[in-house]
Amino acid sequence: MLGTDIHGLLCSEAAVYSELPLVKSLIFGFSWKYLSKLSCGMERSFLYIDMLKGLRQNILRAVSRMNNTADSRGLANKLFQTYIAPIIEHYNPIISPLASHYGSTLYRARKCTADTEYTSIKDLLNPPSPSGRAVSSDAQSILYASSSLQSCKAELDLKIGDLVNIVGLDYTEISSQPFWFIGQLAAFHKSKEPSHYVSERNGLDVTAYFSHDAQQSFIYQDALINEIFSTISSPTDGYSLNRYLIEAIYKKLPKDPALAGVVYLSVKDAPGINFAIFGDAISKLKIGQLNSIRVTDIDDYGTVGYRLLKNGSLKDQQIIWRDV
């Protein structure tokens, strides 16, 4: 797994690779799959960049058809198995604990649909009725949060006049658990600046030891998976594509310790970071600030202006609001 120390696996910093063509794909057109192999024996297979681009176009077309189909049952699973599973097959996830950053606080916001504050913390954390991405299934609950107040507000597609409740969540207790980081490889390639949340950063520069074609494939693959997770998966498919991605990654990792969540790039508020926290890890988040705000302005660059109306405190899982 890429979150572990890679340097002991390499012969030298100037390790030499060799490339061996493996098979010609007859499923997605005439694109090659290669094996990139270092001189010390470390190897990774990868899909040629044109194949990944073709898969992306097929995914977008399939999603468009699914969005325009009255009975879309089973279509998300078929889409995943046909076009996304081949990407995951040749994908090495970056796994790392969470580093402490800005007080180890995440933020979650929820629009008040009835224009009145929520009174139960359960409704604010993971509502019983699907709202945005806070959707639970019988298999596993997922709580979505963001790295900043601005990012969590941007994810809601707010309008001026909306009433919004916000909760701060301290993640210290789950910071040592493994998280799957997506989109970070592509971002690091562009800026050479690692995410502040990646504790074990060796996985971000490991691609430098492979050929240019392999590097290009790994980076495109990471960006595509982030796109699927952040924008392509939607309420239309019940965010099921996200769940299929998570299930596929689980199969690639050791069962112990269990994956605590996913860290991915915000598309609506770059360079913000979003988090999907799983199951038992949700209960280990510590409730911090509670705020009720009214949106007063949204500028040309998406920054949300607001007026603070109330601060909240927690008692027996109920939120007690007080005017400021």
Query: Domains of the chain: which residue ranges?
Result: 92-324
d(CA 38, CA 12): 10
Which candidate, 132, 158, 181, places its Cα nearest to that of 298? Answer: 158
Q: Which residue is listed with tokens 């224009």?
A: 115
Asked if residue 274 lies in contact with residue 147, where contact means CB atoms within 8 angstroms, the answer is yes
Helix axes 184-191, 212-227, angle to 10 degrees: 130
pTM: 0.78
Half-sphere exposure of 93 (CA within 13 A, CB side): 26
Q: Which helix (H) or strand (E) holds 203?
A: helix 202-205
According to the model, what pLDDT value does residue 277 have? 92
φ, ψ for residue 119, nearest 5 deg = -105, -10
According to the model, what pLDDT value does residue 194 have? 67
Q: Which residues of the chain have pLDDT under 70?
A: 1-42, 127-140, 194, 201-203, 206
According to the model, what pLDDT value does residue 29 have? 37
According to the model, what pLDDT value does residue 316 have? 92
d(CA 274, CA 300): 22
Residues 224-245 pLDDT 10s: 999 998 888 877 777 888 888 9
Q: Which helix (H) or strand (E) holds 75?
A: helix 75-79
